[in-house]
Amino acid sequence: MKRQAVFYTETWRLKEPFHISRGVRTEATVTVAEITADGHVGRGESVPYAHYGESAESVLEEMQGAARAVEAGCSREDLLALMPPGAARNAIDCALWELEAKHAGNSVYAIAGVKPAKAPVTALTIGIGGIEEMVAKARILQDCGLLKVKLNGDDVVEKVRAIKSVAPTPRMIVDPNESWDLPLLSSVHEKLAELGVDMLEQPLPAGQDGVLDGFTSAVPLCADESCHTRGDLAALRTRYDVVNIKLDKTGGLTEALALKRDAEAMGFRIMVGCMIGTSLAMAPALVLADGAEFIDLDGPVWMAKDRDGGLLIRDGNINHAAVSLWG
């Protein structure tokens, strides 16, 4: 089948600033791939991430560099060799998945051979702020199933304790986004465990987490920035309990499914995460959600306006059966 590929960028305004240890964002710039063949259109969305050396311009240029091969009919497996992991490959890979499903008259779940997760619950995120501000947000979210609390190195235990006091029921992920060092982790992990924190996500910088070899944390540790593809897993076995699979890191659903399979075989627990994007970026990640212990796909919750036909999220509960825009 003859293909036509179109790649472009979009900017989506956030309904409020998103504050993590690396800075504050007020909008999300995404890259979109549309691949058309035989009257069917497959789409994919990715989020260029400056922390990984990406910009909207560089990702779009990388996508354009693959356009000829994509239009010539390269497969998703061919794409793994043609492009490196990252946002550019993610958008194209997800578009190819949807195109393949539409051409087959089936769903992506069916052709991937996986089951939709039953009643998936996403984390809802509280960005970094003062204690009173974070507590006020926690009070609003007290009935959700899973909270994700962004922290830097300031007032770690005090903020978690205050949030737990008004939202004691939800499970909790604490995410420092690489902003801690080993002495800080050593001083707080037992206290966080006593407060009921369920998981601690990437406390130390990627590339500097070798010091976790031999360290036993009272709270399970999750590799996020340290885990991109299957090739990273071997080095993580003695450092982390959980791996966070994000399509923008793996470079698409094809590698993400393989990463999940290998990680589970090695004994890792699974988290499915996201960058801040629209439901077009979240829907492919939901294909990974069955069996995942932690799901963090609340990107659409941060949008001032999401795409039509997007995820319906109420108190963290995802109604993926209503998603019509992808897959």
The full set of domain ranges for the chain reads 3-105, 124-322
> How far apart are the C-alpha atoms of 260 and 287, rounded to whole Å?
11
Which pTM value belongs to this model? 0.96
Q: pLDDT of 100-140, one tens digit each?
A: 999 999 999 999 999 999 889 999 999 999 999 999 999 99
- Tell me what pLDDT residue 38 has: 93
| Catalytic residue, candidates 150, 159, 164, 249 | 150
State how beta strands 294-295 and 124-126 pair.
unpaired
End-to-end CA distance of the chain: give it in Å, rounded: 19
| 102 noted as active-site residue | no
| 148 noted as active-site residue | no
Instruction: Give yes or no for residue 306 having a pLDDT over 80.
Output: yes
- Tell me what pLDDT residue 25 has: 83
Instruction: Give yes or no for residue 321 having a pLDDT over 60.
Output: no
> How far apart are the C-alpha atoms of 176 and 96, rounded to whole Å?
34
> How far apart are the C-alpha atoms of 101 and 146, rounded to whole Å?
32
State how beta strands 221-223 and 23-37 pair.
unpaired
Determine the CATH number of domain 124-322.
3.20.20.120
| Catalytic residue, candidates 148, 159, 246, 249 | 246
Q: What is the DSSP string of 146-201?
A: EEEEE--SSSHHHHHHHHHHH--SSEEEEE-TT---HHHHHHHHHHHHHTT--EEE
- Average pLDDT score over the chain: 95
Q: Looking at residues 20-47, what average pLDDT do you find?
A: 92
| Fold of the 3-105 domain | Enolase-like; domain 1 (3.30.390)
- Tell me what pLDDT residue 320 has: 67
Instruction: Give yes or no for residue 260 having a pLDDT over 80.
Output: yes
> How far apart are the C-alpha atoms of 327 and 116, rounded to whole Å?
12
Q: What is the DSSP string of 264-321?
A: HHTT-EEEE---S--HHHHHHHHTT-TT-SEE---GGGGBSSPPTT--EEETTEEEGG
Instruction: Give yes or no for residue 22 having a pLDDT over 80.
Output: no
Instruction: Give the H/E segment covering residue 117.
Output: none
Instruction: Give yes or no for residue 9 having a pLDDT over 70.
Output: yes
Q: How confident is the model at residue 323 (pLDDT cuts 50, 70, 90)?
A: low
- Tell me what pLDDT residue 52 has: 92
- Tell me what pLDDT residue 261 has: 98
